[in-house]
Structure 1
Amino acid sequence: MSAQEAWDVWAEHAYAVLTDVAQTYHSTITYGELRDRLFAASGIRTSALLQNWIGEVLNRVIHESLRRGHPPLSALVVRVDDGMVGGGYDEVLRVTGEPPAEDEMAREKHAAGSRLACYRHFGASLPSDGGVPALAPKLQATVERRRAQAPPPRRPVCPNCFVQLPVSGRCDSC
């Protein structure tokens, strides 16, 4: 079997797997988990490194989602180490005619919106407010940890005695 044929078969299975993932609000799947499910469902395996072929499979999923008028299911696939969708997600922006993401977090925020569209489209049980876009759980935890570790903003200093000003903004010493 050629690589192209394997990619086509895996893409069909990936669409089904990702549709299943989309039925649970705020769920995601890692690239490795997707690989394992594709191998099990198709009976086709490869020893090639995941990063050398999964993009081809997900590109097919992106184009099939667009053809069917569905939200981009590839937004549900995240890296295990950081919970991010990765650079391959830019294909979603390209095929939908949107400008490229300015940075990784802009890409992640777009993917979060796409995931919410997937949950809504594929029938996930949503909260009464209709749900909100959310970063993948691992990435959200990283963002919150960094926020907690950031030093508090510094308050201004009195220009006369160089003491940090209280919240009132008026120096108690001068």
Structure 2
Amino acid sequence: MLSEHGTYFEADGAKAQFADALAAWVPIAHEVLVQTAGNYNRTTTYKELTDVVQELSGIRTKMLIGNWSGKLLEKVAVRAAEASEPPLTSLCVHQDGTIGDGYSRAPKSVSSDPGTNVEDLAAQHRLLCYRRYADDLPADGGAPTLTAQVIEARSRHGKTGAKPRAICPVHFMELPATGVCAECE
């Protein structure tokens, strides 16, 4: 049933308080992420996760995913950190396979180098999740792995990136197309 309310109970369309919806969604999202971690190198998307929590809880929202999924994942991150679990929210990625910059600010039960690229950090944290929950780890224990989309994007960027221009070894200026430094002539 379609409701006039922003967040509502699917059964009758009655208004649901967003805080109550989050309280219902968090344990479901936590369980989905634990199940996701059960398979080495598996991730889930924000859309997949938000669809499942709404379906299983019977509470839906008309809000855009980007306006509430971060709040959901933050609460799941707090729950995981308080239980000394690995950072389960590292398993939830955007449609393009990226984790998103907000991940670096999420509560975590493990320390990390603040200078680490957020995608690399998430890959390290996903490995912790797989090592805890997956039953299909490689014999060597696995390795931090970027999503296939991020690997592809990095590969594409590396192939199409501009080649560095030649620099004059004396004046440390970029050389013109002729290859002769104007200052050295």
- What's the TM-score bracket when you normalise by the shorter of the two chains? 0.7 to 0.9
Preserved CA contact (<8 Å) 2:81 2:108: no
In the alignment, which residue of structure 1 is the partner of 2:160? 149
Distance, in Å, in 1 between the alignment partners of 2:17 and 2:65 is: 16
In the alignment, which residue of structure 1 is the partner of 2:119? 108
In the alignment, which residue of structure 2 is the partner of 1:88? 102
In the alignment, which residue of structure 2 is the partner of 1:54? 69
Distance, in Å, in 2 between the alignment partners of 1:45 and 1:134 is: 33
Bigger fraction of residues in helix: 1
- Deviation of 1:92 (Å): 3.0
Structure 1: runs of 5+ lacking an equivalent: 164-174
In the alignment, which residue of structure 2 is the partner of 1:9? 24
Name the % identity: 33
Larger relative contact order (C-alpha < 8 A, sep ≥ 6)?
1
Distance, in Å, in 2 between the alignment partners of 1:117 and 1:89 is: 16
Preserved CA contact (<8 Å) 2:90 2:122: yes
Distance, in Å, in 2 between the alignment partners of 1:97 and 1:127 is: 25
- Deviation of 1:127 (Å): 1.1
Where do 1:1-174 residues align within 5 Å?
Answer: 1-80=16-95, 82-92=96-106, 98=112, 101-102=114-115, 106-150=117-161
Preserved CA contact (<8 Å) 1:59 1:91: no
Q: 1:70 to 1:134 in 2, by over 3 A?
A: same
Q: 1:152 to 1:16 in 2, by over 3 A?
A: same
What value does the CA root-mean-square deviation take over the aligned residues? 2.6
Distance, in Å, in 2 between the alignment partners of 1:67 and 1:93 is: 9
Matched residue count? 158
- Deviation of 1:88 (Å): 2.4
Deviations 1:8-48 (A, max 9, x none): 11111000100111011111111111111111111111001
In the alignment, which residue of structure 2 is the partner of 1:166? none
SS of the residue aligned with 1:53? helix
Instruction: Tell me the TM-score normalised to structure 2 length.
Output: 0.74
Preserved CA contact (<8 Å) 1:84 1:108: yes
